[in-house]
Chain A
Amino acid sequence: MSQLQQCRRLLERAEELRFEDPREALRMAESARDQVAALDREEIGVGNWFALQADAWGVFGSALRSVSDLGDSEGALNVAIAFLMAPEVGDQGDPLAYAHLAQRAAYLRCDQGRYAEALELIDEAISIYCSEGAGQAAAGALADRGLILGRAGRKEEAIVHLGEALEQLDPDKNPRNFLAAVHNTALYMHELADNSPRVNNLALKWLKLAYRCHTLLPPESLSVLKLRTLRGLTAVRLGRVEQGIDELWQAQEGFQRLGAAYEQSLTLLHLASIYQNLGRADEVKRVAGLLFPVFQSLKIDREASVALMLFYNAAQAESATLDLIDRVSSTLREAQVRSLRRGDSR
């Protein structure tokens, strides 16, 4: 295998691994970036060399985003853009490469909570894909548009976009995008499901479909564990409380093994709410105790720590309330957004 092929393989592997093991993906992306930089410019052609540098920095930027280092992710994507727009490339750059970068940048802006900019970037990517006749890539980007709208709180619109994307996505050619679109539809349907029994029923169908789609993934992957949380919450909502609680415990243990402290905290807080509703004060106390070390590993800011302390003390005195648990959840979410915006949680 030539050095060039080896670099391309490494970049593909780093990109794939991002969804299963973000830290390993980052290590691999960094190594690929260094190897790509060492390629001989004359040997592979100046245009190819620049395109490959842009690709490597793009993959590296996305890997940084996956471990929540948003500051350096932004920097790496800017380096990728600088390579792609270099005078040496001129007008010869592959339009699809611009679209891929715009898509990566859209995800980053979405994580930073800058949704208007994220939508502008994803629209640019969709328009390039369409004009280049890249139908599957355009459908994938349409699903991303759905995700951005959902994260911005526009869940009904998100579901419409995801539905359109799913009509066009070919699961054989584009399995990851297909899975993500089904997963996100199930998630937004679940969040909207309180409103009516019809929506509730539909949410359940989407959840089952999402689970079927994920059977090929490892059971400990982040997306399967998130679905497991969703399945636990749905079971509780449908009255199968013990089954739901069991699912949630298993999900939180999986998150713990993966080191996904934020997801683990949210699942524990779901459990605290359910136990509180059932009046099982001992269990609330146990969950409050478990939350402490997890919060510590998140290096969460003072406001969230104070909220947790209040909840913990109330749980010990058996006087916790649902409002108090909701407050811990919302301060945790806000702290996470603040931390992502600062890009300092690496």
Chain B
Amino acid sequence: MSDNTHDDDPNPEAEAQALRDEIATGWKLATGPALEEIRRLVRKSELSQRKVEERVGFSKGYLSQLLARNLDLKLWHVLAILDALGLDLGEFFHRVYPATRFPALERFQRTSKPLSPELEEALSKLYKYGVESLDELRSRVGRCEQAVAKLEEMGYFDGRRRSRRTEGS
């Protein structure tokens, strides 16, 4: 049996890159501290929300939708808003994602498996959805699982590549 997922896809590299970009920008910015910081900067600015929208080229009300999380905040949104506010991108990211203080603990988080359904249930029961860092933990798991499934489907994991090579040899 041959695995032709790869062959049917005209440009899997580009699609995988787009997916990686989406993981790196879309979900992280939409749920993480970046949105909070953008909210703070817009509030603090002398410009009205409408003025910012005009400068960026957003339609009327688009910025409110972004700040209210009705739309996903993407990296290009952040770039455009910071540009309109005349603020420095490097400073923004330094503030939002400061250099890590506890590298081993953070690596522990990154190398951990998703929460089990039992723990998910306990979290929902105990805290509902009022704690932002937990919401992020939940959504990260969900979105990462989807992304991983898609990358697997596209043959972007070593295990799949190895098995394809074995089948071909």
Contact = CB atoms under 8 A, between A and B. Distances in A.
Contacts of B111: 117
Classify the interface of chain B: helix, strand, loop or mixed. Answer: helix
Given A82-B133, A82-B134, A75 B104 contact: no
Interface in A91-134: 98, 101-102, 105, 109, 117, 120-121, 123-124
B133 A75 contact: no
B118 A72 contact: yes
B133 A87 contact: yes
B103 A87 contact: no
Contacts of A76: 119
B1 interface: no
A75 B107 contact: no
A74 interface: yes
Contact of A71 (B101, B109, B113, B132): B113
Q: How large is the interface on A (under 10, 10 to 19, 20 to 34, 35 or more residues)?
A: 20 to 34
Given A37-B127, A71-B113, A87-B132, A124 B105 contact: yes
A77 B136 CA distance: 15
Contact of B126 (A34, A74, A117, A123): A34
B116 A88 contact: no
30 contacts: A33-B122, A37-B126, A38-B126, A74-B112, A74-B113, A75-B112, A75-B113, A75-B115, A77-B108, A77-B112, A78-B137, A79-B119, A79-B134, A82-B133, A83-B131, A85-B133, A87-B132, A87-B133, A88-B133, A98-B101, A101-B105, A102-B102, A102-B104, A102-B108, A105-B108, A117-B107, A117-B108, A120-B104, A121-B104, A124-B102
Given A72-B118, A79-B137, 11 more contacts: A79-B115, A82-B134, A82-B136, A83-B133, A85-B133, A98-B105, A101-B105, A109-B108, A117-B107, A117-B108, A124-B105
Interface of B: 33, 36, 101-105, 107-109, 111-116, 118-119, 122-123, 126-127, 131-134, 136-137
